[in-house]
Amino acid sequence: MARIAPKPLSDYPWYVRWFLRRQRRVYGEVLAPSWLWGRLPGAFLGMLGLLAVFQRKRYPVDAGLRSLVSIRIAQMNGCHFCVDLNAYNYLKNAGDEDKAQRVGEWRQHSGFTAAERAALAWAEQVTKDCAAIDDQALEQIRHHYSEDQVTALTAWIGFQNMSAKFNAALGAEEHGFCAVPSGSGENEKAS
């Protein structure tokens, strides 16, 4: 159960109510983070706008890779809702259930490509301690991705950390999109 209960629908501004009603039609219920973000209408609209930018087809990092690193970030931050949603998105974009199930074991599991491993390592490092990132870490990610892609991936990682931390701190519940372990693999929680 979320740590902060939803307000009555009528207490949200009209444009937030419109979004919440649309979510109810699409998913059968309003997703827990939307009730929470809806309490901050300006921030909610800003977040939705930024999400729309990330989801553009021309975004330098494809949706499958974004979803894959998002699962790992969610696991590290303890956001069960985010693991659920991002695993669903990954399966929708890439269709690899085994990989979605094994994100927390990406170092040991042979199913991940070198480029995916580099992106997951980068996501973990950015999530854990940005101050510890050195030139060697940057060179490792640059080996697989252009500078525009590294910048885009890093922006996505930052966005996902904000979202996962917000949702986990306020106890946003899973929706039941996908049955992927919420916390698997080494280094589950970010330090």
DSSP string, 8-74: PGGGS-HHHHHHHHHHHHHHSS--HHHHHHTTSHHHHHHHHHHHHHHTSTT-SS-HHHHHHHHHHHH
Q: How confident is residue 98, by pLDDT bands cut at 50, 70 and 90?
A: confident
The domains of the chain are located at 9-54, 63-169
Distance CA 7, CA 102 (A): 37
State the Cα–Cα distance between residues 17 and 149, nearest whole angstrom: 35
Residue pair 87/66 in contact by the 8 Å Cβ criterion: no
* Residue 1 in tokens: 């159960």
Give the span between the Cα atoms of 55 and 72, in whole angstroms.
Answer: 19
Fold of 63-169: AhpD-like (1.20.1290)
pLDDT at 93: 85
Q: How far is CA 101 from CA 7, 51, 84, 164, 165, in A?
A: 35, 24, 11, 18, 21
| pLDDT per residue as tens digits for the range 110-152 | 999 999 999 999 999 999 998 999 889 899 999 999 999 999 9
Dihedral sign from CA coordinates of 54, 57, 59, 64:
positive
Asked if residue 166 has pLDDT above 50, the reply is: yes
Distance CA 44, CA 67 (A): 21
Please state the rounded mean pLDDT for residues 151-176. Answer: 95
> Which of these ranges, 33-37, 87-91, 175-179, has the smallest mean pLDDT?
175-179
pTM of the model: 0.90
Give ∠ CA 86-166-121 in degrees, rounded to 5. 50
**Position 178 confidence tier, pLDDT thresholds 50, 70, 90:** confident
Amino acid letter for position 2: A
The three-class DSSP label of residue 123 is: helix
Q: What single-letter DSSP state applies at residue 183?
A: S
Distance (Å, rounded) from C-alpha 127 to C-alpha 18? Answer: 33
